[in-house]
Structure 1
Amino acid sequence: MLSSSRICVSIARKNTAEAVAAAESVVGQADVLEIRLDYLTDPIITPFMEKLHIPLLFTNRPQWEGGQFNGAEEERLEPLLQAVSQNAAYVDLELLAPADSQQKMRSAMQNSESKLLLSWHNFSDTPSREELVGRLAMMQDNGADIGKIITTAHDQNDVLRVLQLQETAAQLNFPLISFCMGKVGMISRVATCELGGYMTYCATSVDDATAPGQLSISTLREIQLLLGVDL
């Protein structure tokens, strides 16, 4: 069984040297590396682009969306725009980011090979299907190349509701990342890979997880092997 979904390993370190080293340790296992700029004290793009020969996703997550960055929006956007100018594979921007930020990103991408990933996270629960589909539609309307909808699951119905978004996205021919956080949602991080999800996320190790319920790359790959997934 061949999985077309991508495995993205999130790299969250305070300094660039440590982040590059952590990234290099999993290059052979990952399809994409997410560089969490909001964890870095000095978020510079060039060292990652020069040293890591693998598709990179740059994220500078603000505190209001569960991240570490708490400065001005213009300051937050600057390294992301640098990533676009250097043709990073992906740049993550929050669906609820200011309209001006989204417009600047779309404009910058007109002369870049980068793809815009618009993301939305709910750290408390999983909304109704109607609201989830509405978020999906907003991502398309706002010019996303890829959407990302992540919620917190409290029961199996929450998990199923989020995974069912993959069918909706497929009908719209829209690449979507969707799974659930938390212990109950852990299964969705694996299942999404076999249900048409564009990408799932994992950590270099359990101790380095950047979200509740995030698996390590070694655990995820082991589960896929047991399921007979062709890596």
Structure 2
Amino acid sequence: MERARILTNSILVCAPLMARSAEQMVIDMQSAKAQGADAVEVRLDFIDSFQPSHDLETIIRNKPLPVIIVYRPRWEGGQYEGDEHTRLEALRLAHDLGADYIDVELKVASDLVGEVKNKHQAGGKVIVSSYLNGATPSKEDLGHLVARMQATGADIIKVVSNADDITELERIFHLLSRSEVPVVAYSLGERGLISQLLSPKFGGAFVYGAMEGNSIPGLPTLDNLRETYKVENINSDTKVFGLVSKPVSHSKGPILHNLTFRHANYNGIYVPMFVDDLKEFFEVYTSIEFAGYSVGFPYKEAVVQFCDEVHPLAKSIGAVNTIIRKPGDGKLIGYNTDCEGSIAAIEDALKEQKSINGASLNSPLAGKQFVVAGAGGAGRAIAVGAKSRGARVIIFDIDLARAESLAQVVSGEAQHFESLAHFQPENGAILANATPIGMHPSADRIPVAEATLGSYQLVFDAVYTPRKTRLLKDADAAGAITVSGVEMFLRQAIGQFNLFTGREGISSSHLFHFFLPPLSPDNTS
């Protein structure tokens, strides 16, 4: 059954195993199966004092799921440095003992593939692999490489590259979608992550996932593949959305959006996109299948120039955090959901207190001094939102000219960020942190003087990882109302979901009820 799934390009989740003994390989195979793997890749070159007959028999006799046997030489990026004849004999033996797949490098594949297939017509499959150094080759060069690999008689071909830029992955997707035989193709490293996650959409044979506690750069975990991304549900019709940011690893967006898509029965996937160059990224990814993007740090302002149209609110803010590719003509339309997301979170917290005190305000921010730390994309959205509610806005930024530019937009005041350490707010003022201070590696810092926190009625922190930043802890101790970035994150995500899917109906209370626990199991991270 597993081989039939391979031949129809139905994705299999495979866990690479690099244990130091055959006995530990067996234990790890059991663990991989329990964690959701469909197959395992056993790396013989990692086994200490490898004994082919004993160790292969131990592994293959006790395998709880299909195995791919790999004995990677140093010249192809592996650990084996011994005699080549001995290495190939071990692969032949693995095939004879009943391995489901053996992996053979293109350089030595021609004779070996024909030999093992003639010997056992109904035996295991042969994967012919090529590990590429440097940047991913052009589509034309990849095409020539694949033709050579197919000519060996391989059942499956495998191409692995090292992506220096996310735009290289478009060549991988092109290869996957056009090959005449089952293909495994992906790029390593953080910039190559989506080549694994989107492999099922473009027809890949395997997607690789690391076991719990066995982190591998650029490789999702088995749990992420099964729980966050549900790769078994991805198909050619799945719409791709992603976070365009640098870095991206901290984001909880994939957890939230993928859960929301599934809850709404929408065929979409949301992935992290580590982007180095916006211009090159949007020039390469023009396919309507890449249907929309969230935009994160540091690109919310710069991305405006790459939008074909910008919504009036986003234009007034000067920052975009959501982009939709228009069906039909493929134009990119920019929006901003941060503004309402942040201000609604702050207003809700103030209204709740007023309700408890027996009073109500239509505009709880009206007339209040509103201090914004940071004039980047998030800061601009917060400042414009505060101004729209009648607040008196003061902006602090390390780039005074940028702060002054924003101050003009909101008829506010601009000061250099250094002044914030000595700034004494009015009693009852609002503080909004829109800087990365509070996020790793600045988790122990706060943007204001601790002694001034008691003057603020409410302190909001746009940082949401960790959920309870040091700023919020100190503000809470000083008696201020505190609002986590998670509150803004969930509210702005509702706007993004509606734009992504063209649907309405997901409420903030719904998101909080269903998705806050997976975002923050202990309410601290």
Structure 2: how far apart are the matches of 1:97 and 1:30?
29
1:90 paired with 2:62, answer: no
Deviations 1:202-229 (A, max 9, x none): 22236353xx412221222233233648
Question: Is the 1:206–1:214 Cα contact (8 Å) retained in structure 2?
Answer: no
Aligned length: 221
1:23 paired with 2:29, answer: yes
Label 1:54 to 1:98 Cα distance change in 2 as closer, same or farther (>3 A): closer
Structure 2: how far apart are the matches of 1:176 and 1:68?
24
Deviations 1:148-168 (A, max 9, x none): 111111223201111111121
Greater CA deviation, 127-136 or 92-101?
92-101
Label 1:115 to 1:102 Cα distance change in 2 as closer, same or farther (>3 A): closer
Amino acid at match of 2:209: C
Question: Is the 2:157–2:184 Cα contact (8 Å) retained in structure 1?
Answer: yes
Within the candidate set 120, 123, 140, 1:113 is matched to 123
1:5 paired with 2:11, answer: yes
Within the candidate set 218, 223, 226, 1:213 is matched to 218
Within the candidate set 180, 186, 190, 2:193 is matched to 186
Amino acid at match of 1:78: E
Structure 1: how far apart are the matches of 2:45 and 2:114?
21
The equivalences for 1:153-164 within 5 A come to 153-164=163-174
Per the normalisation by structure 1, the TM-score is 0.87
Structure 2: how far apart are the matches of 1:5 and 1:53?
19
Partner of 1:140: 150
Quote how far apart the aligned CAs of 1:145 are.
0.4
Structure 2: how far apart are the matches of 1:59 and 1:36?
5
Label 1:85 to 1:19 Cα distance change in 2 as closer, same or farther (>3 A): same
Structure 1: how far apart are the matches of 2:169 and 2:202?
13
- Structure 2, unmatched stretches of 5+, are 1-8, 231-257, 268-525
Partner of 1:36: 43
Within the candidate set 43, 59, 79, 1:48 is matched to 59
Deviations 1:146-196 (A, max 9, x none): 011111112232011111111211xx2x11111111111011111002221
Partner of 1:127: 137
Greater CA deviation, 31-40 or 216-225?
216-225
Label 1:80 to 1:189 Cα distance change in 2 as closer, same or farther (>3 A): same
Quote how far apart the aligned CAs of 1:107 are.
4.1
3-state SS, counterpart of residue 199 of structure 2? helix
1:168 paired with 2:178, answer: yes
> Identical aligned pairs, as a percentage?
29
3-state SS, counterpart of residue 40 of structure 2? strand
Question: Is the 1:179–1:185 Cα contact (8 Å) retained in structure 2?
Answer: yes
Partner of 2:228: 223
Structure 2: how far apart are the matches of 1:204 and 1:137?
33
Structure 2: how far apart are the matches of 1:123 and 1:223?
31
Structure 2: how far apart are the matches of 1:154 and 1:208?
20
Structure 2: how far apart are the matches of 1:85 and 1:175?
23
- Structure 1, unmatched stretches of 5+, are none
Question: Is the 1:16–1:40 Cα contact (8 Å) retained in structure 2?
Answer: yes
Per the normalisation by structure 2, the TM-score is 0.40
3-state SS, counterpart of residue 72 of structure 2? coil
Question: Is the 1:5–1:198 Cα contact (8 Å) retained in structure 2?
Answer: yes
Question: Is the 1:153–1:185 Cα contact (8 Å) retained in structure 2?
Answer: yes
Partner of 1:72: 83
Structure 2: how far apart are the matches of 1:83 and 1:65?
20
Partner of 1:150: 160
Question: Is the 2:182–2:205 Cα contact (8 Å) retained in structure 1?
Answer: yes
Q: What's the RMSD between the two structures over aligned residues?
A: 2.0
Structure 2: how far apart are the matches of 1:137 and 1:99?
13
Amino acid at match of 2:123: E
Question: Is the 2:160–2:185 Cα contact (8 Å) retained in structure 1?
Answer: yes
Greater CA deviation, 137-146 or 43-52?
43-52
Structure 1: how far apart are the matches of 2:142 and 2:43?
25
Amino acid at match of 2:27: A
Quote how far apart the aligned CAs of 1:144 are.
0.3
Structure 1: how far apart are the matches of 2:113 and 2:225?
33
Structure 2: how far apart are the matches of 1:95 and 1:13?
25
